[in-house]
Amino acid sequence: MGCDAAGVARAVRAAAELVTAHRDELVRLDQAIGDADHGENLKRGFGFVLAALDQSTPDTPGAVLKLVATTLISKVGGAAGPLYGTAFLRAATAVGAASELTPDLVSVALQAALDGVVARGKAEVGDKTMVDALTPAVEAARGSTVAEVLTAAAAAAEAGAESTIPLTARKGRASYLGERSAGHLDPGARSTSLMLRAFAEAAS
């Protein structure tokens, strides 16, 4: 993809479509250890994101990311809405006014997104949250093209999401279940890996 505003908008659309296509799966995952709303929360939120992108075409990658952030923060309830909103907002700030994303900027944006999620949610690796997908993604996010960076990040996020299965949740609603949360994939870790996969495919 071009990594200008239009390219980033296409990647965001791809993420919206992939998350929406996995709505039922995310609902089922959240049914097992939460309140069954994660898939619907994200489907609704990304529906508003698509509508906002139809309305206006932001002129920098950062402005696209900021539009995603403000939409998710204002439209998505639950824990994940504000957490993803913060992630996109920090990523937007990290890329600043650049007219094109470079591999380094993508790495920096992913790190900023993770830092935002951790600042807001206070989860650590091993707490069975989206942080378990995003942290390895940030660590793996290297490459000589944006596509390479995102492909490495997506693969690491998928492995990180799978790693949540045996864990006992220590943050969020799933933590109310205590040890009964073990044996299930964390829905937020799954949605994080889906978004990164969509970004990687859009970039390739």
Task: Point out which residues bind ligand ADP (CB under 6 A).
Answer: 30, 34-35, 37-38, 41, 78-80, 83, 117, 121-123, 129-131, 171-173, 186-189
Residue 58's binding partner out of ligand ADP, Mg ion, none, with CB under 5 to 8 Å set by partner kind: none
In whole angstroms, how close is the CB of 6 to ligand ADP at the nearest point?
A: 29
CA contacts within 13 A on the Cβ side of 83? 22
Of 66 and 190, CB closest to ligand ADP: 190
DSSP 168: P
CB atoms within 10 A of CB 19: 22
Q: 4 by DSSP, 3-state: which?
A: coil
Q: 65 by DSSP, 3-state: which?
A: helix
Residue 30 makes contact with Mg ion by CB under 5 A: yes
Residue 158's binding partner out of Mg ion, ligand ADP, none, with CB under 5 to 8 Å set by partner kind: none
Of 32 and 155, CB closest to Mg ion: 32
CA distance readout (Å), 195 to 172, 179, 183: 20, 28, 23
- Find out whether 87 and 47 touch, Cβ atoms under 8 Å: no
Residue 189's binding partner out of Mg ion, ligand ADP, none, with CB under 5 to 8 Å set by partner kind: ligand ADP
Return the structure tokens found at 137. Answer: 């993604």
Residue nearest to ligand ADP (CB): 188
Of 37 and 158, CB closest to ligand ADP: 37
Residue 34 makes contact with Mg ion by CB under 5 A: yes
Which one among 37, 127, 132, 186 touches Mg ion, defined by CB under 5 A? 37
In whole angstroms, how close is the CB of 121 to ligand ADP at the nearest point?
A: 2
Q: Name every residue whose Cβ is closer than 8 Å to that of residue 34 and which is 6 or more positions away in sequence.
A: 172, 173, 174, 187
In whole angstroms, how close is the CB of 31 to Mg ion at the nearest point?
A: 9
Residue 35 makes contact with Mg ion by CB under 5 A: yes
Angle at 95 between CA 90 and CA 101, to 5 degrees: 135
